[in-house]
């Protein structure tokens, strides 16, 4: 497992380049967000998404799939955002939220038949630059660990997942959070529903 460090509000250019190259090659990375560390891959690469789902034990046909976007403009390419939803996203993002929105037709085949997608725009410089440099969404899913692994520590996660097929890079962005994002269902933007309370305070 290769570990690259990127601390502070200016993402390390080499760490970004290595992470983007790995994702374009269909690989999975571990990277920092404004909540938990996460697994990430090219959000438009079906095989990479399926690989990430296998790693997490996610059933792509049943579980919510989420993507990190660089900004709301990019998110609007992959989710249908009406005026009410836009105002909510504008108020809360970047921030520790996952907003469930109606999916657009631009999403890859693995999303076929799915009516919704989770949208993340984290308040984390590395995660946002990652999406910008990739030029598309980053499929994302929080890294999980057992009681013997500190999920807030990138090196601990790298050790735990060392040797996993298709996972070769961890980005150490410093101490992470132990709480996930707040999940808000905006499929009916007139009646937002907090599905899971996490780090973000939705008012």
Q: Starting from the edge strand earliest in sequence, which strands make up the sheet with 28-31, in order?
A: 2-5, 167-172, 28-31, 38-42, 138-142, 66-68, 116-120, 97-102, 182-185, 193-196
Assign 37 a pLDDT band (cuts: 50, 70, 90): very high
Assign 62 a pLDDT band (cuts: 50, 70, 90): confident
pLDDT at 177: 92
Asked if pLDDT for residue 61 goes beyond 80, the answer is no
pLDDT at 109: 76
pLDDT tens profile 82-129: 999 999 999 999 999 999 999 988 887 777 777 899 999 999 999 999
| Residue 86, CA distances (Å) to 33, 72, 78, 102, 107 in order | 22, 8, 14, 13, 19
Q: Which CATH class is domain 2-196?
A: alpha beta
pLDDT at 63: 82
Alpha carbon distance 150, 161 (integer Å):
12
pLDDT tens profile 117-160: 999 999 999 999 999 999 999 999 998 877 778 889 999 999 99
pLDDT at 157: 94
Nearest-Å Rg of the Cα atoms of the chain is 16
Q: Locate tokens 């989710």: which residue?
A: 79
């Amino acid at each position: 497992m290769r570990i690259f460090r990127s601390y502070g509000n200016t993402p390390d250019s080499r760490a970004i380049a290595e992470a983007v190259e790995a994702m374009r090659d269909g690989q999975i990375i571990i990277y920092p967000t404004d909540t938990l560390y996460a697994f990430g891959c090219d959000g438009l690469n079906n095989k990479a998404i399926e690989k990430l789902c296998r790693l997490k034990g996610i059933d792509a046909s049943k579980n919510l799939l989420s993507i990190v976007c660089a900004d709301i403009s990019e998110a609007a390419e992959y989710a249908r955002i009406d005026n009410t939803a836009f105002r909510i996203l504008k108020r809360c993002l970047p921030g520790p939220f996952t907003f469930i929105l109606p999916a657009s037709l631009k999403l890859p085949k693995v999303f076929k038949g799915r009516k919704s997608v989770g949208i993340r725009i984290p308040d984390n410089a590395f995660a946002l630059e990652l999406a910008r440099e990739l030029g598309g969404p980053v499929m994302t899913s929080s890294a999980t660990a057992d009681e013997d692994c500190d999920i807030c520590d990138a090196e601990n996660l790298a050790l735990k997942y060392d040797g996993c097929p298709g996972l070769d890079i961890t980005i150490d962005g410093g101490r992470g959070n132990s709480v996930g994002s707040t999940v808000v269902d905006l499929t009916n933007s007139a009646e937002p529903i907090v599905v899971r309370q996490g780090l973000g305070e939705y008012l």
